[in-house]
Amino acid sequence: MTLNEIACTLGLESLTPAIAAGPADRAGAAVEKAHASDLLSDVLANAPAGAILLTIQVHMNVVAVALHAGLAAVVFTSGMRPDEAVRAKAEQEKLPLFTTAESTFDAAGKLYAMGLRGAGSRRA
Amino acid sequence: MKRLLADMHVHTVLSPCASREMSPPAIVREALQKGLAMIAVCDHNSAGNVGAVMEAAARAAAREPGGAGLTVIAGMEITTAEEAHVLGLFPDARAADRASAEVRAGLPLWRPLSSNGPSAALRSPEQELVDAAGELIGIEEKMLSAASRFTLSETVALIHRHGGLAIAAHMDRRSFSVPSQLGFLPPDVPLDGLEISAAGAARGRAKEFAGHGLPLVSSSDSHFLDDIGISRTALAVEGPSFDEIALALAGVNGRGCGIA
């Protein structure tokens, strides 16, 4: 599914309407991965490239980490909203941000049901 | 200039995870035995036992005039909203109390667990407020292990507003550190120093954090008496005081600091 279709199906509110669902070259690209974590060190280490990140972490660092990890978008769950500075930075960097009232668990369950998958099992 | 050894991160019985043996007189005795000139009392999200440890140190000094003496710095280990730990060191107990009150106001109450509930290990820990002799004077009812409502930036601003020094705690740890929670150290947070854990300092990990342009310190983060002084900061200062620590962290007027 594309990011647009996912946002629509889940009823996500876009926080970066100026870039809608991302740069034009990625708007139609399929998103197949997702990652749920509030620890940005874990996101850096374990989030698959191209994934949607579900998090309640709204610190400015989430933008830099998402870009570094090559994520497709960040969805703030449980109604969390970042400061305007974070939102503006994401928009400038063309990183789509969304927010949803749903908890991380519920949003992740819906994404899984839609066919998205995570990083899989961690090797010991 | 003197070289003084400081352990700037010591918990007391007020911290839910600290041993019952961490009473003010025992902490002072242990610190003196370990040859420390200064300790900072840094309980989680509270400065409630700072005054008691200061008084215990004053009593120890009165019993032994001419002894080395122990200077107790008022501190607190604040949990930011992102669940990163930041040490606040303050000029005096009153400044720490004021900062503590602001943090405390935003903490949740302990959820009471039913008395016929699970094992003792799951019961609320006793967050003991004690006097200088270690006698119980109250129980803290707020959940000191919870995250405060202040973000990292707001926490540093709060510490500075009360005249304090802000040090990011145990930067090398994989939990409750700024890097673990935020992926990396945000460049725009005006911290006064970075703490390396005892384990990290022993493994030579301090060099990983040398590139931030911030002074590095190490402390024990002790929750047990035996751990006091296992990791220390050596300060080149005129004497043991908060003001001298501030100068040493800033590296001015011939002062300085390093991991001992």
Q: Which structural domain, as residue segments, surrounds residue B228?
A: 2-259
Q: ipTM value of the model?
A: 0.79
List of residues 6+ apart from B121 with CB closer than 8 A? none
Residues of chain B positioned with their CB less than 8 A from the CB of A38: 181
pLDDT band, very low/low/confident/very high, at B122 (cuts 50, 70, 90): very low
* Count of domains forming chain B: 1
Interval A37-63 mean pLDDT: 95
* Count of domains forming chain A: 1
> Is residue A122 included in any domain, yes or no?
no
Q: Please indicate if any CB of chain B lies within 8 Å of the CB of A63.
A: no
Give chain B as a DSSP string.
-EEEEEEEEE--TTSTTS-TT--HHHHHHHHHHTT-SEEEE-BBTB-TTHHHHHHHHHHHHHHSTTS---EEEEEEEEEPTTS-EEEEEESSHHHHHHHHHHHHHTSPBPPPPPTTSS-GGGSPP--EEE-TT--EEEE--B-TTS--S--HHHHHHHHHHTT-EEEE--TT-SSSSHHHHHSS--TT---SEEEE-HHHHHTTGGGGGGGGSS-EEE---BSSGGGTTSS-EEEEESSSSHHHHHHHHHT-TT-EEEE-
> Is residue A119 included in any domain, yes or no?
no
In chain A, whose CA is at the least distance from the CA of B151? A59
> Is residue A120 included in any domain, yes or no?
no
Q: Count how many pairs of residues, chain A against chain B, have C-beta atoms within 8 Å.
A: 34
> Is residue A73 included in any domain, yes or no?
yes
In chain A, whose CA is at the least distance from the CA of B176? A39
CATH at residue B239: 3.20.20.140
CATH at residue A79: 3.40.1390.20
Of the candidate ranges A24-33, A44-53, B32-41, B118-127, the one whose mean pLDDT is the lowest: B118-127
**Which pLDDT value is given to residue B160?**
98
B205-241: pLDDT as tens digits: 999 999 999 999 999 999 999 999 999 999 999 999 9
Q: Which is higher by pLDDT, B176 or B68?
A: B176
Q: Which of A37, A39, A86 to mutate to test the interface with B (most CBs of B within 10 A)?
A: A39
Q: Which structural domain, as residue segments, surrounds residue A61?
A: 3-22+29-113
- Asked if the Cβ–Cβ distance from A64 to B184 is below 8 Å, we say yes
- Asked if the Cβ–Cβ distance from B186 to A60 is below 8 Å, we say yes
Query: Taking 70 as the threshold, does the pLDDT of residue B95 lie above it?
Result: yes
> Is residue A69 included in any domain, yes or no?
yes
**Which pLDDT value is given to residue B121?**
47
B18-68: pLDDT as tens digits: 999 999 999 999 999 999 999 999 999 999 999 999 999 999 999 988 888
> Is residue A124 included in any domain, yes or no?
no
